Amino acid sequence: MPANLRGLLVPIVFLAIFYFFAIRPQKKRQDEIKEMRDTVKVGDKIITIGGVYGKIINIKDETITIEAGTDRIKLEITRWAIGSTVGKE
């Protein structure tokens, strides 16, 4: 094996390892989050990325209205602000 190829082999192996242990799982997680945000519906309970718990009461394209707190405060948030879903009604 020529010395030039041997010198390139180590960085290529490290890039492959980095891809399979860092980039690929992150991409998979992003796809799961996007799917979760696209499939929420009225009545779902969510947590925003800011930590606000609420129930979805209205959905327009990229804007979602949630009801939060005991006073039933209505907040209008963007779809990307949903951190996770808690449960279904």
pLDDT at position 57, please? 96
**Rounded to 5 degrees, what angle do the CA atoms 84, 69, 78 make?**
45
Query: Between 2.40.160, 2.40.50, 2.30.30, 1.20.1070, what CATH number should domain 41-89 receive?
Result: 2.30.30
Q: How far from chain centre, in Å, is Cα 84? A: 8
| 51: CB partners within 8 A, 6+ apart | 83
Q: What is the pLDDT along the chain (89 residues), one digit of tens a residue?
A: 677 777 888 889 999 998 888 889 999 999 999 999 999 999 999 999 999 999 999 999 899 999 999 999 999 999 999 999 996 54
- The label of the residue with tokens 């180590």 reads 10
| Predicted local distance difference test score (pLDDT) of residue 67 | 96
**Where do the structural domains in the chain lie, given as residue ranges?**
1-39, 41-89
pLDDT of residue 6: 79
- What pLDDT sits at residue 42? 94
